Amino acid sequence: MKRTIHYWLLLLLVACTHQVKNPKQAGELPPIYPDYVDVTIPVGIAPMNFDYEGGDYQRLDVTVKGSKGGSLHCQGSTIDFDLDLWHELVANNQGGELTFTLCVEKEGQWIQYQDFKMYVSKHPLDEWGLTYRRVAPGYEVYSQMGLYQRDLSTFDEYEIMVNTRTPGACVNCHTSNRTNPEAFLFHVRGANSATVVQKDGKRALLNTKTDKTLGLCVYPYWHPDGRYVAFSTNTTRQGFHMTKEKRIEVFDHESDLQILDTETNELLLSPLLTRKESNETYPAFSPDGKTLYFCTTLKRSYPQALKQVRYNLCSIAFDAQTGRYGETVDTLLNAEADSMSIAFPKPSYDGKWLMYTLADYGTFPIWHQEADLWLMNLQTGETKALNEVNSDNTESYHNWSENSRWFVFSSRRGDGLYTRLYLSSIDETGKATKPFLLPQKVPRHFYERLMYSYNVPDFTKEKVDIDQRQTATEILSEKRIALGVRP
C-alpha cells in the first residue's frame, strides 16, 4: 500500500517536473556540499541530500541509478530525496554503487555535470543511531547545551538531556556499553554535580568525588560485562594562545585512573595508575575486558613545558572476577619517542584494531589542527595514519560500531571551528573509505545555521530510553550516592 502511494506521488511529481532538455555538458564533477563524491554509505542511512554550490540557479535535477537496479529522481530548488524510495534504492544496491547525474538549470539553460558515485557498503551498520553532545565551541563559559541522539535512518534528533532542564549545569561524557544504551552514563557538572548511571532501567546519581582520590570521575569507558566503568580523574586547566594559529590549550595538572564497581559503588584503585610522577588518562577496556588501555605521560611543569608533554599508549591487565589490576604496565606505543602524543584510544569491538588520535603534544587534540586519526593493528602492533579520513584540520574523538566495520569521528574540517561528525567504514586490511558528513535534510543551511559543535560521538544500538523529566528532577535534588574506595 505504502509503495503504491509512493508510485502515485511519484507520478504526480513527474507530471509537475520540468524536463531536462538539451543539457550543456559541464565536463566536471558538480560542486556540491557536502562532498559526497565517492563516499561509501551503509544501508539504512538517511537520504544523502546535498546542495549545489555553483552559484545561482533555477532548478536542480538529479537522477540516481543503482548498479543492481532501481533508480530515483528528484527535482526542485534543493535535493531532498524521498525517504522510503531512498532506503529502498540503497537496500537494493548493497555491495553495489549508486550513480548520481546532476543537472542544473541556470537562466533557462540546463547544465549536466559529470556523474559521480556513492558506494553502498556490503557491511551493515546495525546501530539505530548516534549519540553526541552539542555545545558551543567556547572556552570556559557554556550556555545551552545537551546530549542528543540522532536516528541515522532519518533526520530526526531527540534529546537525551539538555541543560535547560537543569539550569546552569553542564552535561557531558555520555557513554554506553558497546553501543548498547541499556548501560548508559553521563556527567553533570555545576552546582548539581553528579554522575548519572542508568543500567537496565535503574538510575543512580553518584557523587564520584572522594577524599582518597583526585577529584570527580571524568573520561569513562564501560567494561564489556557491564559491571565496571573505568574513569580518569583529572585536574584540568585551560590556556589561551596569543597568536592567530591556535586558540586554546587544555591540559591536566594531574590525572589518575580508577574503576567504578557499579554493584558496590566502590572505586577500585591501583598504585600503578595513581602515581604522583605521571598522569594517566583516557581509559578503554579491550573487548574481552582483560586489558585496560590508557594514555600516560610524566608530569611536567605546566604551562611552561606544555609543548613537551607527550602521552604514550599503555595497558594494564584487569580481572573482572576479582576486580584486581595486573602488576605491570606495558607500553604499547611510545609516541613520545616520535615527538607525538596519543589521545582517545578506542579498541574496535572485534579486537582487531585500536584507533587513536595523534597530535604534536598535549592531552586535548580537539584544539590541535594537526591532530589526525591513526590505527593500530592489535595483532601485529603496526600503526598507520588513516589518511583516507584525515584532513588538514582537526580529527579527534571517534567511536566504533558494534560490528567494528564503521566508525564515527569528529572533525573541524568544515569551517575550522565548529566540529561536525563524519562516518567511514573500514575493511579487513584496515583501509578506510572516504568519510561522509552526517546527512541533514538541507545540509548547507543546517550546518551554517548551527552554532554548536558535535562532541563525543558514539553509536547507539537503540534509542536511549531515559525519563528526562524525572532524571532532571533527580539532578536538581541533592540526593547523591557516595562512593567507597578499594585500594
Partner 1 sequence: MNILKKYGKVLLTIALAVAAWCFWALRYPQALAYHEQIQLFLFDYDFFMERLTTPAGIARYGAEFLVQFYNNLKLGAAIIAMVYVLMQIGVWRLGQRERDESRSVWYALSFVPVLLVWFYMGDENMKFTYVVALLMAQLSMIAYPAKQSAWSKILYAAVAMPMLHWLAGPVVMMLGLYVALKEVLDHKNYALASGAALYSVACIIATAPWVPYPLFRLFVGINYNINLYEVAVIHYIIMLAFVLVPLLIQHLPKLEGKRAQAAGVVATVAVAAMGGFAIPTAYDTDKYEVLHYDFMVRRQQWDKIVATAQKKNPTTPLTVASLNLALGMTGEMNSRAMQFYQNGREGVFPSFNMNFESSLMTAEIYYHLGLVNTAQQFDFEAMEAIPDNTKSARLLKRLAETNLINGQYDVAGKYLKLLQKTLFYKRWADETMRLLGNEDAINNHPVYGQMRRFQLEKDFLFSEQEIDKVMGQLVLQNSQNFLAMQYLLLLPQLEGNQQKYLMYKDFVQKTLNEKKP
- Is there binding between residue 369 and partner 1 (CB under 8 A)? no
* Whole-angstrom distance, CA of residue 148 vs CA of residue 430: 30
SS3 90: helix
Which position among 71, 77, 109, 144 is part of the footprint of partner 1 (CB under 8 A)? 144
Q: Which is nearer to partner 1, 245 or 327 (CB)?
A: 245
Q: How far apart are CA 9 and CA 211, in angstroms?
A: 66
Task: Work out which of 449, 478, 479, 487 binds partner 1, going by CB under 8 A.
Answer: 449
Chosen residue from 142, 209, 308, 349 binding partner 1 by CB under 8 A:
142
Q: Enumerate residues 224-243 that contact partner 1 by CB under 8 A.
A: 239-243
CA distance 382 to 116: 34
- Amino acid identity of residue 351, one-letter, is G
Question: Measured from the CB of residue 235, what is the shortest distance to partner 1 in angstroms?
Answer: 17
Residue of 59, 418, 441, 463 that binds partner 1 (CB under 8 A): 418
Confirm or reject binding of residue 476 to partner 1 (CB under 8 A).
yes
- Can residue 11 be called a binding residue for partner 1 (CB under 8 A)? no
Pairing of β 484-486 and β 266-268: parallel
Indicate whether 468 belongs to the interface with partner 1 (CB under 8 A): yes
C-alpha cell at 230: 573505568
Among 162, 170, 250, 298, binds partner 1 (CB under 8 A): 162
**Of the ranges 63-71, 208-216, 380-388, 414-422, which one interacts with partner 1 (CB under 8 A)?**
414-422
- 77 is a contact residue toward partner 1 (CB under 8 A): no
Residue 155 binding partner 1, by CB under 8 A:
no
Residue 324 near partner 1 by CB under 8 A: no
Using CA atoms, how far apart are residues 365 and 343, in angstroms rounded to an integer?
Answer: 7
Sign for the CA dihedral angle at 465, 470, 474, 475 comes to: positive
- Give the CA radius of gyration of the chain: 24
Least distance in Å: CB of 52 to partner 1?
Answer: 17
101 touches 434 (CB < 8 A):
no
Distance CA 422, CA 438 (A): 6
DSSP letter (8 states) at residue 22: S
Stretch that binds partner 1, among 164-172, 289-297, 381-389, 452-460 (CB under 8 A): 164-172
Question: Which residue type occupies 212?
Answer: K
Q: How far apart are the first and last CA of the chain?
A: 64
Considering the rule CB under 8 A, would residue 164 count as an interface residue with partner 1? yes
Q: Which three cell numbers stand for residue 320?
A: 573482572
Closest distance of CB 154 from partner 1, Å: 18
**Of 100-139, which residues contact partner 1 (CB under 8 A)?**
136, 138-139
C-alpha 410/C-alpha 364 separation (Å) is 13
Interface with partner 1 includes 191 (CB under 8 A)? Answer: no
Q: Supply the minimum distance, in Å, between the C-beta of residue 452 and partner 1.
A: 11
Kindly determine how many residues on this chain lie close enough to bind partner 1 according to the rule CB under 8 A.
43
Is the four-CA dihedral 368, 372, 377, 381 of positive or negative sign?
Answer: negative
Spatial separation of the C-alpha atoms in residues 104 and 206, rounded to whole Å: 57
Q: How many whole angstroms separate alpha carbon 295 and alpha carbon 290?
A: 17
CB closer to partner 1 out of 290 and 441: 441
Judged by CB, which is closer to partner 1: 250, or 320? 250
| Residue 158 binds partner 1 (CB under 8 A) | no
Does residue 53 bind partner 1 (CB under 8 A)? no
Q: What is the helix (H) or strand (E) element at residue 11, kind and residue range?
A: helix 2-16
Q: Please tell me whether residue 309 binds partner 1 under the rule CB under 8 A.
A: no
CB of 124 to partner 1, least distance (A): 33
Taking the CA atoms of residue 170, residue 176, residue 179 and residue 182 in that order, the dihedral angle to the nearest 10 degrees is -120
Nearer to partner 1, 26 or 476 (CB): 476
Choose which of 47, 220, 345, 414 interacts with partner 1 (CB under 8 A): 414
Distance CA 316, CA 472 (A): 37
Question: If binding is defined by CB under 8 A, does position 165 make contact with partner 1?
Answer: yes
Residues 6+ apart with CB under 8 A from 118: 36, 38, 39, 40, 41, 48, 97, 98, 100
Inter-residue contact 54 to 114 (CB < 8 Å): no
Of residues 243-262, those binding partner 1 (CB under 8 A): 243-249
Q: Does 301 bind partner 1 (CB under 8 A)?
A: no
Residue 22 binds partner 1, judged by CB under 8 A: no
In the complex, the residues that contact partner 1 under the rule CB under 8 A are 136, 138-144, 146, 159, 162, 164-168, 239-249, 303, 306, 414-418, 445, 448-449, 451, 468-469, 472-473, 476
